[in-house]
Amino acid sequence: MNTYLRILSYAKPWGRFAPGYLIFSILAVLFGLLNLALLAPLLDVIFDQNGAEKLAKYTALPEFSLSKDYVVGTFNYYLLQTVNEYGKFGSLIFVCIIIIISFLFANVFKYLSAIVMAKAKAETIKNMRVDVYKSVSNLHVGYFTEQRKGDIISRITNDIQQIENSITHNLKIIFREPFTVVVYFWLLIMTSPSLTLFTLIMLPIAGVMISEIAKRLKKRATQSQESLGRQLNILDETISGMRVIKAFNAVGYINRIFSKEVKNYADIDYGFSKRYELSSPVSEILGAVSISGILIYGGDLVLNKGTLDASAFIMFMAVFTQILQPTKAIAGAVTQFQKGIASGERVFEIIDTKPTIVNIPNPRKLENFEKEIEFRNVSFSYGSKEVLDSVSFKVGKGKTIALVGPSGGGKSTLANLVPRFYDPDEGEILIDGIPMKEYDFNSIRDQMGIVTQESILFNDTLHNNIAFGLENINEEEVIKAAKIANAHEFIMQESEGYQRLIGDRGSKLSGGQKQRVTIARALLKNPSILILDEATSALDSESEMLVQDAINHLMKSRTSLVIAHRLSTIQNADEILVINEGKIVERGTHSTLMQHDGIYQKLTAMQGL
């Protein structure tokens, strides 16, 4: 119930929808009820069931009152007048016209209430999608290494779609149908209290059976959505890694993995359907049993005890059959809700996940980087695996510090700590002598530019990729940055120029072109601190020359932290730190380190330097 109410909270303020919906729904139900209420007096008057002495009291209009007798008396008065003037057949036409008008109004108000609810549904889903997307974008970087990307995407897409289909789609049932049932039962009570009581005894049996079926659906619904998430994850990995799959002739292998998961989903969905589809025949059978019981009991009241008129009994049965439809709709909605509730819980898991990287109350703003970055006895672990062990060093303003060493030594982790993608487990990082945690982390990142081995680009124009995240940037500034990054020439070779769409993840560009675009992006930001994480390691020699030249322009007068496997690119660094197994094992300039028989000298020898 809490999950359901939380989903509905996304349509707040309900003042925009509730008043109109309630008014239209009430009018729709009342006009629908009028059609059934006309049935008994119609039978009595048209077919002389009341007798002359009973009809005599309808020769004058009754005094106004909020009662059933006033409504019936008024209707019978005008009906009797019509019978006297136009005959019974003419009065039958009169009643039919009233029924048509009543049906018209009932359906017009039903339509209007549905339109209001459709707006509420659209608003609910829109707000939920925006909220979950904001929550995902605010999560710490580590969350995305711990979770399957496909499952995250599935929660934002499939699960919210399921919420829309199973919960918000049935809002009108949950809000309107119970009111309909209550009003119809009121009419039944007015017609025959004893027969209504007998009906109320029989209906809970159906409710208990339907609720038992609904309970068993939730577990299957959760398993179904989790399986969809795994399928989406496999699809994402397949599309991203298609070259590797083809190269290793692994199409059959990946097909078997996907087919296994699809079969698992099909089995879960089949199990869900068996239980879900059971609710309809169960409700139909129980409805038939209920009607049969009411026919027997009501028939006894008419035939043997004489406490109920035949016309009233016919109207009672007509109203009761109308109750069955909204009751069945409510039962169906309750069972269908289980998928939506399961999906809602999965979505709220993301929304409720708190990022581990947060600002302290009233943090400082890093307006300008003035002196140095200091690592002071920094240790860090991914779970139980220690990656950094008491690392200490300083990066002075305008200096270039290079990090080298064997793979897995902790170089990239050090680089990720500087923009505060993670926080150290022990020790601290200081900027201008102040602990990093005292700064607003957004103001820290405003001072930084990052270029990684993998060029992160978006399916947008070249202009927008270079100006990414920056406001009020004109084309001249973009072109200037692209020229310095050696990107302008290849950009202008295309007819669209800077307005060219580069495809998903920049798929229409070569590796060197993508890297130069990311460097242009960093140049345009004009950061004080620069982080280069193996920015040229994946390039061919020609592309490396162009990219390295762009990097040299980028590094001018900036504080730089450079991770490099190609040691030729960092020989001019102010200091080189050799990282191995989470510790700084060597440090110094290129010439100093070459004088020692250590890891750095061995690495340079391996690369023929």
Give the three-class secondary structure for 127: helix
The Cα–Cα gap between 38 and 323 comes to: 17
CATH superfamily placement of domain 372-606: P-loop containing nucleotide triphosphate hydrolases (3.40.50.300)
CATH architecture type of domain 2-351: Up-down Bundle (1.20)
Residue 437: pLDDT band (50, 70, 90) is very high
523 to 274, 388, 555: CA distances (angstroms): 60, 30, 9
Q: What is the pLDDT of residues 383-435, one digit of tens each?
A: 888 899 999 999 999 898 989 888 888 888 898 899 898 899 999 999 999 99
pLDDT at 40: 61
Task: Identify whether the C-beta of residue 497 lies closer than 8 Å to the C-beta of residue 417.
Answer: no
pLDDT at 452: 79
Span of 5-9, 97-101, 151-155, 540-544 with lowest mean pLDDT = 540-544
Single out the residue of 569, 553, 570, 533 nearest to residue 454, CA to CA: 533
422 to 307, 413, 456: CA distances (angstroms): 80, 9, 20
Tokens matching residue 306 = 């004489």
Query: Mean per-residue pLDDT for 64-85?
Result: 72
Span of 198-202, 460-464, 520-524 with lowest mean pLDDT = 198-202
Q: Whole-number mean pLDDT of the chain? A: 79
Residue 451: pLDDT band (50, 70, 90) is confident
Tokens matching residue 205 = 């049996």
Helices (H), 381-510: 411-417, 441-446, 462-466, 475-484, 488-492
Answering whether pTM is above 0.75, one says no
Residue 46: pLDDT above 60?
no
Residue 207: pLDDT band (50, 70, 90) is low
Tokens matching residue 326 = 């909204």
Task: Identify whether the C-beta of residue 16 lies closer than 8 Å to the C-beta of residue 172.
Answer: no
pLDDT at 245: 72
Query: Mean per-residue pLDDT for 296-305?
Result: 79
- More confident: 357 or 215: 357
Query: Mean per-residue pLDDT for 332-353?
Result: 79
Task: Identify whether the C-beta of residue 184 lies closer than 8 Å to the C-beta of residue 319.
Answer: yes
Tokens matching residue 485 = 């990054």
Kind plus residue range of the DSSP H or E element containing 440: none
Single out the residue of 570, 260, 593 nearest to residue 401, CA to CA: 570
Taken in order 282, 288, 289, 291, is the CA torsion positive or negative?
A: positive
DSSP 334-358: HHHHHHHHHHHHHHHHHHTPPPS--
Domain range summary for the chain, segments of one domain joined by +: 2-351, 372-606
End-to-end CA distance of the chain: 68
Residue 438: pLDDT above 90?
yes
The DSSP symbol for 439 reads B
Helices (H), 301-429: 310-351, 411-417
pLDDT at 52: 45
CA 6 to chain centre: 13
- Exposure string for 501-533, b = 16+ CB within 10 A, e = fewer: ebeeebebbebbbbbbbbbbbbbbbebbbbbbb
pLDDT at 436: 92
